[in-house]
Chains A and B, each alone.
Chain A
Amino acid sequence: MNHQPFEDWLLADEPPTGEQALELREHLRDCPRCSELESSWAGVHKLFQASEQIAPTPGFSSRWQTRLNAQQEKAFKRRHHRQPWLLFALNFIIAAALLILLGMQLWQTFNSTAQLLLVKAFTVSLILTIVNLSQDILTAFVQVVGRFPVVLWVLLLGFSGFLGSLWITVGRQLVSTRRITL
């Protein structure tokens, strides 16, 4: 048997309309299940209607005020306790930011290491070239010295010394300020 519309009508807030009420009455006569549902729901409904709102024990609002005060005090303490930690955190963040900036600078330095090494290598190679050239010049000089007799060298040195002394003396005479006597 289909109980669906009857079950809905029995449990609905609004009573069934005239035609529905007739149909329902007829069905209830033949259906013990719906009849039982009707009486049970009527019992529950009656119980709910008779059941009043329950009040809390006296002093509820003062207990609430105490609880509110306790909560506010706790929140204040938490805030107070949190302040040094906030300062510490702020300092920590600043220090970390500075450290990151430093790190970035260092990173840039590390990144240009290859260029630095190239410059250094070029300088070293330049010095080595100069040393090499000087060595060549000296070797050529020593070879030239061995081909002429010592007397010639002595005469050449003596003549060079004389010319040098002459050049210095003439230079002094020309450059030095004259002494004026009144």
Chain B
Amino acid sequence: MNTAGKDHREPEWLVQAIKGNAEAFTNLVELYQRPVFNLCYRMLGDPDEAEDAAQETFLRAYNGLKRYDAQRSFSTWLLSIAAHFCIDQMRRRHFTLLSMDTLPHLDPPDMSPGPETALSLGEEQRHVRILLGSLNAVDRAAVVMRYWYELSYEEIAESLSLTVSAVKSRLHRARLEMADNWTTQKKQLLSVERRQHESPAF
């Protein structure tokens, strides 16, 4: 799995953290902050909300460490907590998030994080955000887990409390939806470019 920043001291930190050592858990936070934040950002589409969700994920993980099954991968467990939290957040927001249905495709309102945030959202990130924004919460989590963390169908199923066949069908549906979305985006971009070329100069 691509969770970046694996460290050989992770098992030791994990054992210490389970015993209640907050410092050891902080090392784990340091190690997994990027994958957890990335998942939250891909799910929620807003850096501030992603920061809040990632912080909350680590808090929940810290408080629930006694329930952690050592047979399972710690990173998958963390991502599962983050995904469930984000799905709940999205359901709570109830379609107020940036969506392809409610926003114009090529000129969405400015959702940039502002100068205080270090994230730079390029054109590429904007496209990714729009594509993911067209999916429902669970499909989005499955896509993010598949393409950014290279989780297997079984791992995704376990993380999202789904069956393997449900994951496969959700991913298939999501790919189809994103491909359609991509086609629409490209067509609209072409028509905008054509209109710009045709418009008279002032």
- Chain A interface residues toward B at CB < 8 A: 7-8, 11, 36-37, 40-41, 43-44, 47-51, 53-58, 60-61, 63-65, 67-68, 71
Bound form: Cα–Cα A37–B177 in Å: 10
* Chain B, Cβ-Cβ closest to A12: B172
Q: A11–B51 Cα gap in the complex (Å)?
A: 33
Question: Which of A37, A50, A54, A57 lies in contact with B179, CB distance below 8 A?
Answer: A37
Evaluate whether A60 and B54 lie within 8 angstroms (CB atoms) in the complex, with A48-B128, A55-B37 already known: yes
Q: Chain A contacts of B124 at CB under 8 A?
A: 47, 50-51
Inter-chain contacts of B33 with A (CB < 8 A):
55-56, 60-61
Q: How many A-B residue pairs have CB under 8 A?
A: 94
Residues of B within 8 A of A37 (CB): 176, 179, 183
B111 at the interface (CB under 8 A from A): no
Distance of A120 from chain B, by nearest CB (Å): 69
Q: How large is the interface on B (under 10, 10 to 19, 20 to 34, 35 or more residues)?
A: 35 or more
Q: Which of B55-63, B99-107, B192-200 lines the interface with chain A?
A: B55-63
Tell me if B125 and A51 are in contact (CB < 8 A): yes
Distance of A153 from chain B, by nearest CB (Å): 110
Q: Is B90 an interface residue (CB 8 A)?
A: no
The 10 A-B residue pairs with the shortest CB-CB distance, nearest first, are: A40-B179, A53-B38, A56-B37, A41-B179, A40-B182, A11-B175, A48-B147, A57-B118, A60-B33, A61-B29
Query: Which residues of A are found within 8 Å of B34, using beta-carbon distances?
Result: 53-56
